[in-house]
Chains A and B, each alone.
Chain A
């Protein structure tokens, strides 16, 4: 909980600074636009967070966006399939990719980094090939329902943000209150001990990659309709890095077994505010990445240093294994 608190404070402080320096930050259009982006990025960042909690990683997300985007356009525009069927097909297709990743990682014991790095290359190449390396668009009309999910609003609240809240609540319950969630933390932190407690650790890992890909599929559909066209060479490129950054900022440890849904969502929000800050404060947009890199770095650095301090205190507090109770020592172990 400490980590979430720290990053929330950072988020509030940043918002306050930007709002003071440029009041347009609090303008309705800026806020809704930001909320829309937070919604879209948040959905797949949650997926990434879950994978990171298993001590895995997924570098293929951006390329999956590209290939699913290309197929989405083809199915809707060239094959004229009905929208619900297309959505179902896309979700199943992307989840199957998750099954594949999970299987290679959990059962064949390949490293997640390698498996998904190959995915990153493979899906991107495939997307470009299928699309003949041409940009494919949805056109300006049609597919109203899907379009509404990405660009519409409920009252003042953009639709993707509403979806993020719904998905966030479900994932919160899944991660923090279900058996699956508890096992996820256990497997991520110490797979052997989990196995020795009767947990089917491989199935847990595989399932996590499938759940992640479900969220990627949903996020990917929103992003496709938000951009309204897919240029296969760069659609979604580097989005996996946003997701990793959001998860890590939000308290997920790449060592696994740590992280929370609230943290990931706040991490996502923080990244979007940073983007926004670059725009609103007139910082050259070429510096965009540099600003993000610096802030993420500082955030993780502060967390690392305070974490080490905490740990040192704990180590001191318990010292070596206490000897027999006969030793004339006070039972109090409170650190000074």
Chain B
């Protein structure tokens, strides 16, 4: 257990009833250490100014001091499977070509021609070399300058370094990260303790089974924060309370860049003490976006079994079949709970053996009042079989509901409910006379953590 447990915690009060750690005590399988971590050091209870979300100045500061300094997830390795494949990653007003240069080698170039500045690649794709569509200046995929038509007119370039400028690049879990800062901390330091906590979930071996994105009319942080606390379940997703331990959730922070929420599933909300085990089971099978099945049909809960155990054991069997190997050492918690990590600033990843959800919230270009909300679902495939091709990104129109994306199944209707708040929060913050938001001490502590880390970058 972390030493942090001995320091003052953020919010001393907790919801009555079973805690997540109590549920872990009921596991019949040895609980891995990362689940026993329970750390939420005190961060204070001050209000946060709405300017952080709605102010143009704050966005300009992020543009100058946050995005140029942080490690940020650009894409999945599987998005660019062959040498020469590339992904154009755009953040605020910057554009990067992330390209595969070898079997396990990647490079990230500033997407701007060294002749007249046009972006070199307009979209994702494959290239034997990067030829600027404007005048034809050309680089090989390693960024070495190969020439420009009418060389006689460019003798003055002979003395210049014409290699394409690069930014830092690194990988973890099948994700590719970039960082504009030459002096940044190594990716592995930045990620800690994510790799250790995900050691039972080899995400580099998962494939992207779904990828959906849509513009949402709110600041990227409003979007991210919609997924950083389970407190909103009561009012926003009331139909899932029969199987969601919303107020029993545990919230942790690990250093500056990682935080976690664990929301027990397969148990009823403490707000609904009358719910029976049968109701919990029926609803989780039908309504959870993350169950192996999506219907209660054909499921008979054996006498004396809790819904939590039944669902976990059902998932154990189904996930084992999908993966093609037994999951004997998986805890019930890992088989059904919502264990969601955030990697600062804008990427969130669920743990799990199959169907791990990933969220990313990017500023929508240079607009601080809108963002691009992306969901990916990382899936497993039978060991020893060919890795399936990753899903193409499905870009929904701004007027489309997430439930119009069948590939995300039960998540769609849940996101639609979140969507009903996101733009409305932005609008309400702009209208606010109070000019500040107040956070729950414990349940919204990860949001405070996000902002305190942002401040560290902006004040550096």
Q: Are A and B interaction partners? A: no
Query: What is B's interface to A at a CB cutoff of 8 Å?
Result: none
Query: What is A's interface to B at a CB cutoff of 8 Å?
Result: none
